[in-house]
Structure 1
Amino acid sequence: MADNSNSEDVPSDSFETAKTDKEKLTDQVMQNPQVLAALQERLENVSHTPSSYIETLPKAVKRRIDALKQLQVKCAHIEAKFYEEVHDLERKYAALYQPLFDKRRDFVTGDVEPTDAESEWPSENEEEEKLAGDLKSKVVIAEKEASADEPNPKGIPEFWFTIFRNVDMLSELVQEYDEPILKHLQDIKVKFSDPGQPMSFSLEFHFEPNDYFTNSVLTKTYKMKSEPDTTDPFSFEGPEIVDCEGCTIEWKKGKNVTVKTIKKKQKHKGRGTVRTVTKQVPNDSFFNFFSPIKVSGDGESLDEDSEFTLASDFEIGHFFRERIVPRAVLYFTGEAIEDDDNELEGEEEGEEDEEAENDPKV
């Protein structure tokens, strides 16, 4: 027979006490406006989410919403065609830019010397602009006499290498042993895919003869897609890079900076003798840029590190195409970097302002 003697030890008013405490807590919550407002907001968010609202609609309305989604998919396909035509325009205008870029290369390499008219640029020195005619002429003569004693190197030495050093995104990839190679870089070109071909663009890195490899041009091709995904058409936001392909660098003997030789001791299991073997292992280098990770074509997903590396590669390729190649001289002088920093600061300030507006405490 069960022993109920323990129940007699429990005070008869314990449940009443617990109930009273709960009521007191409820009263405290109801009397605190901030706590009550936060609780009410949470309840409203739970009960008024878009998906929960849609579920409450009649079937006839849901049917019409599905029809709107079909229209939205058709809009996405039209948008894809729009970007294909934009790509055609990019190709057209690239041909107009190229003669200017070719002249830029000639000035950089020193193959052509700019004329006085081509090299004329307003001075940033305000005091110089205020000089009177005779005095200004004397200053110009003095400057010419002084410049006659200065060294006159060919072209603009280390033009592209300086850009690599100035841009954080690139300088992070460059190792000390990459630097002497990059000093031989003479030009970078962007080439767009031909009409009728799948959308893509290539970066061409032109090098003068050097002691490191026999290639005169190293290429990197970025393949793009400008069509909505069949499984998620609403995610389409324009062309995106989906894969990239590098090239084989013909390294001269002992000059391959993308690998390093290590020595390792091996012990023979049977005889117990020890021998030293050498083998090559991958080495950090900018020139790994031309041996990118391949996107798996068999449906297998990449690991997290590989996905991050590939996304960074795509970002760098896009930055070369959109920023560095079109505005090279401004990245050389640092002016474009200041503009980029100002844009980032403006975006951050805008985000802070938006947060402040949404914060009821401010």
Structure 2
Amino acid sequence: MLIRTPKLSELKENQLTAQSVYSNRRNILKGLGYLGAGALLTGNKANAFNLFGTADKSPFKTRDLSFSQLTSEIDKQILTPDQKVISHNNFYEFGTGKSDPVEASQNFKVDPWTLKIDGLVEEPITLGYEDLYKAFDLEERIYRLRCVEAWSMVVPWIGFPLQKLLQKARPLSSAKYVAFETLYDPKQMPGQKSRFSGGGIDYPYVEGLRLDEASHPLTLMSVGLYGKTLPPQNGAPIRLVVPWKYGFKSIKSVVSIRLTDKMPPTTWNRLAPSEYGFYANVNPQVDHPRWSQGSERLITTGNLFNRNRVATKMFNGYEEVAPLYKDMDLTRYI
């Protein structure tokens, strides 16, 4: 099922990615005979999505992806340029600075890789590196990414719905939550060597969702962005993307997905429970104790410290998830 993502038509022209980037993407799609949401891209046609020459000039190694579906919103979205997406990251396993991940992760090895899905399931699953790209049809989803630090991007992710993976594992009726865990490998991830170098975090990084959140069609397991496999600083080879929650919920470099009947611990809630809740839904009505969440800085082609501020929307604009929380006081649950 294709998911329609919110339009960004309410943003002003000077708050958007350069029109040349947007037009180039449209022209390439038209050149491929793009016909809409059902269009197929196979083999070398995936190269056409490499709009910025990253295949030859990138410091990291990628491989082209073939994917079967494109969102029908592709012509209507304005994207954050790929060089911003791959150079401005929070991934404390590689350092606490925004540029640390791209600088410290380029020798990160993703093959071989093992992702285990177990716990309260009838059919435990183990996926290897190649399985991440072959086990499910891959889709492109253009999502807004809203960081708890009050900046945002618009990213064309490639992946598959988490619900498809969960359905294959067949959760037991007693399963209520899904726990995630990042790879623990201090030799490759220098931020994991000590709490000092890794921002005070007790590694490995862990996250969690309610089962109904994990099963929502918007929840994505991403293996790529901008038509290429994920670079290491963005969570290679596979990460979670939950677009209506703050970015720290979208755990990177996942090695374990475990279904449980108890609410699992989450890294930032464990580190600072008064600042980071389990749910972490984007909510302009609930400020962070140290800054407002009422607006955000949209990262565009300009300077990373631009003043392109826009109003933050409830659930980051993905209002279709509101029924998940109909019985909750959203001013209390952070």
TM-score, with length taken from structure 1: 0.21
TM-score, with length taken from structure 2: 0.23
Higher helix share: 1
Higher strand share: 2
Q: Which entry has the higher C-alpha Rg, 1 or 2?
A: 1
**1 or 2 for the larger relative contact order (CA 8 Å, sep ≥6)?**
2
